[in-house]
A and B are shown apart, each in its own frame.
Chain A
Amino acid sequence: MGKRRAVVDQKLCVACGCCVKICPVQAISVWKGLFAVVGDKCVGCGKCAKECPASVIALEVREQ
């Protein structure tokens, strides 16, 4: 069973940073003002996906 992890559609991300503000473990950040990137710390809680105004974050199951 893989862990859930946030995945950002970087083509549609507007780099607003709402996801950064809401993430409880600082796993997501906006890279160079271009789009959000998810780091290893992500626990797949899905808070960022709910918050994202553009709804461009999905939670995907990753095999370890």
Chain B
Amino acid sequence: MKQKHWYDYLWIASAAYLILGFFNILFAWLGLLCFFIPLLLAIGGKDKLYCNRFCGRGQLFALLGGRFGLSRKKDVPQFLKTKAFRYGFLIFFFVMFFQMLWNTYLVFSGVQDLRQAVTLLWTFRLPWQWAYRVETVPLWVSQFAFGFYSVMLTSTVLGIFTMALFKPRSWCVYCPMGTMTQLICQAKHREK
């Protein structure tokens, strides 16, 4: 049996993050950590250490799909592994991300009102007013939180979906962060 380390419990942080967003949307800002840490690690010479060791989301899927058996454990379809799909999904994700930043900007500049909603799968708008508690921060801070939480929730739902259908950590095959950190490594260690 391998020894467990503190970082083997980071799935608790991932689960807590999703739950906290139900109570106060501003916790969504913490999600930036799982955005910058993997990139900084990859750029800072630690390669894919984030995926390989720290990623709580991957651990959560491994736990739910593995230990709790919520996965069929079948192979993912071939197309999911192709560069075209993985890079395409990364680009799609970026487009959605910038749209979210744009919405934040519109609220910041007063053009648009705050939308107290979480958008699931880029389509379904879920009312989320109950989590809007802090009225003292600027509106754009909240708008960003709603947008970012939408991104996190959407990717979790997609991840759970592919976890159930295929292998527990199927999400890792097309995870934009994973693709991005792998691309950084490829750029850094290009065959000479």
Residues of A at the B interface (CB closer than 8 Å) are: 12, 14-18, 20-21, 24, 30, 32-34, 50-56
Contact partner of A14 among B53, B75, B178, CB < 8 A?
B178
Mostly, the B contact residues are helix
Q: In angstroms, how far is the closest chain A Cβ from the Cβ of B61?
A: 9
**A24 and B3 alpha carbons, distance in the complex (Å):** 11
Subset of 19 A-B contacts with CB under 8 Å = A14-B81, A14-B182, A15-B51, A16-B58, A16-B169, A16-B172, A17-B52, A18-B172, A20-B52, A30-B52, A32-B47, A32-B185, A33-B48, A33-B49, A33-B181, A33-B189, A53-B76, A53-B167, A53-B171
Number of B positions contacting A (CB below 8 A): 32
- Interface status of B160 (Cβ within 8 A of chain A): no
Task: Report A16 CB to chain B, min CB distance, Å.
Answer: 4
If over half of A's interface residues share one DSSP class (helix, strand or loop), that class is named, otherwise mixed; here it is loop
Distance of A17 Cα from B2 Cα, bound (Å)? 15
Q: CB within 8 A of A34: which of B73, B76, B86, B182?
A: B182
Contact A16 B76 (CB under 8 A): no
Separation of A30 and B48 alpha carbons in the complex (Å): 8
- Pairwise interchain contact A18-B189, C-beta atoms closer than 8 A: no
Residues in chain B near residue A12, CB distance under 8 A: 81
Nearest Cβ on chain A to B51's Cβ, whole angstroms:
5
Query: Whole-angstrom distance between the alpha carbons of A52 and B169 in the complex?
Result: 8
Q: Which residues of A contact B81 (CB under 8 A)?
A: 12, 14, 54, 56
Question: Is there an interface contact between A15 and B48, defined as CB atoms closer than 8 Å?
Answer: yes
**Given A14-B182, A17-B51, 19 further pairs, Cβ under 8 A:** A15-B178, A16-B169, A16-B173, A18-B172, A21-B52, A24-B2, A30-B48, A32-B189, A33-B48, A33-B182, A33-B185, A33-B189, A34-B185, A34-B186, A50-B73, A53-B169, A53-B170, A53-B171, A54-B76
